[in-house]
Amino acid sequence: MIQRVVFLDRASLKAKVRKPAGASEYVEHAKTAPDEVLARLAGATVAITNKVPLRGETLRQLPDLKMIAVAATGYDVVDVAYCRANGIAVANIRNYAVHTVPEHAFAMILALRRNLLAYREDVEAGVWNRSDQFCFFTHDIGDLHGSTLGIIGEGAIGQSTAAIGRAFGMRVLFADHAPPKVEGVTFTPFEQVLAESDVISVHCPLTPATRNLIDDAAFRKMKRNALLINTARGGIVDEAALIRALDQKLIAGAGFDVLTVEPPRDGHPLLDVRRPNFILTPHVAWASDGAMQFLADQLIDNIDLWAAGKPQHLVT
């Protein structure tokens, strides 16, 4: 039996969450500050976290903790090495965002490629009212059909993004990287993907190898009409380099749903980038109603199956 289950940041999930089947006690906290973690997890068998960090120095003070259920696919908030060495199971969420994230990515791609924000600004400024014809051509409009989509990350979300791209008639390239790799995917050297893609969409995890993967040198290799979309993790793209690339017109535009610091505080440089060729959304690409409920159901399934001795989606 699971003695005590504690959800540290319930407010991060807008969905119905059922009580784990075997839990004698189930406690939810809307949010948890770092200095509250130890007290709230005292005596807990299972911790549920989305964005509350659980590091080794904290975990070693929680002898009753046997499992961590991460309410997300990314599990960088958990000290996995410590958990592996000390017999704490860690499970994450799989395949819940395979539709919602690619759809969000393409919403940004279409808005940027067709310059919808720039045209909206012109309409609001009265440009159409003053036009002497039925339309006006103040900004370039590009088609996706026949263009090249470069994808960094060939997991379920990357594959779904590729499927949408192919439906638009785009040529799809997957950037090569170190193993492990998905079978059946044809890879293209990373430098070639940068050079040939009209749209680059990031769908890889944040790791030491991918941190600042897109930097000044990468931007200089891209097409001047390229769009860069990041719905993966902040930190994969060097944010200062992105601003320089936009200022110097090294790329045509960018759409970001993630930042290195979330929520961003006053003074974050990307908050001040206000131009029609840059879209910033508040980490909501994953958050459709259907995807969030799928996540919530799988989250508790992970706990129930682990308690039943049939664990799924373990990362340790």
Same domain (yes/no): 108, 44? no
pLDDT value, residue 3: 85
Q: Number of structural domains, the chain?
A: 2
pLDDT value, residue 233: 92
pLDDT value, residue 236: 97
Residue 262 lies in a domain: yes
Same domain (yes/no): 149, 182? yes
Cβ(59)–Cβ(82) below 8 Å: yes
pLDDT value, residue 180: 84
Between β-strands 171-175 and 148-152, what pairing exists: parallel, antiparallel or unpaired?
Answer: parallel
Could you read off the pLDDT of 232-260 as tens digits, one per residue?
999 999 999 999 999 999 999 999 999 99
pLDDT value, residue 178: 85
pLDDT value, residue 60: 97
Identity at 9, one-letter amino acid code: D
Residue 117 lies in a domain: yes
Q: Listing from the earlier edge strand, what are the strands of the sheet with 46-49?
A: 26-28, 5-7, 46-49, 67-70, 89-91
Which residues are designated catalytic? 233, 262, 283
H helix intervals, the chain: 37-41, 56-59, 80-85, 100-113, 116-124, 127-130, 156-167, 190-196, 216-221, 239-247, 289-307
Same domain (yes/no): 173, 298? no
Same domain (yes/no): 87, 106? no
Q: How confident is the model at residue 130 (pLDDT cuts 50, 70, 90)?
A: very high
DSSP summary character for residue 34: G
Same domain (yes/no): 197, 248? yes
Same domain (yes/no): 177, 297? no
Same domain (yes/no): 295, 196? no
Could you read off the pLDDT of 60-90 as tens digits, one per residue?
999 999 999 999 988 889 999 999 999 999 9
Q: Which two tokens stand for residue 31?
A: 């949010």
pLDDT value, residue 201: 98
pLDDT value, residue 112: 98
Q: For 153-163, b where at least 16 C-beta lie within 10 A, e where not — what string?
A: bbbbbbbbbbe
pTM here? 0.86
Same domain (yes/no): 268, 130? yes
List, as one string, the DSSP characters of 217-282.
HHHHHS-TT-EEEE-S-TTSB-HHHHHHHHHTTSSSEEEES--SSSSPPTT-GGGG---TTEEE--
98-102, 259-263, 305-309: range with lowest mean pLDDT: 259-263
Q: What mean pLDDT do residues 20-44 have?
A: 96
- What's the whole-number average pLDDT of the chain? 95
Residue 197 lies in a domain: yes
Distances (CA, A) of 168 to 145, 192, 196, 310: 5, 22, 18, 41
37-41, 44-48, 125-129: range with lowest mean pLDDT: 125-129
Residue 300 lies in a domain: yes
Distances (CA, A) of 161 to 3, 73, 148, 164, 166: 41, 17, 13, 5, 9
pLDDT value, residue 205: 87
CATH number, domain containing residue 252: 3.40.50.720
Q: Is the pLDDT of residue 1 over 80?
A: no
Nearest alpha carbon to residue 204 among 151, 249, 167: 151
Same domain (yes/no): 258, 113? yes
- Using DSSP, state whether 11 is helix, strand or coil: helix
Give the range of the structural domain holding residue 27, as residue numbers without chain letter: 5-96+290-307
Q: Is the pLDDT of residue 206 over 90?
A: no
Q: Is the pLDDT of residue 302 over 70?
A: yes
Residue 253 lies in a domain: yes
Residue 30 lies in a domain: yes
% of the chain residues with pLDDT over 70: 100
Q: Is the pLDDT of residue 266 over 90?
A: no
Residue 316 lies in a domain: no
% of the chain residues with pLDDT over 90: 90
Residue 187 lies in a domain: yes
Same domain (yes/no): 261, 125? yes
Same domain (yes/no): 92, 112? no
Cβ(92)–Cβ(74) below 8 Å: yes
Same domain (yes/no): 108, 210? yes
Burial grade of 178 (CB within 10 A; 0-12, 13-18, 19 or more): exposed
Distances (CA, A) of 201 to 49, 66, 193, 232: 27, 37, 11, 9
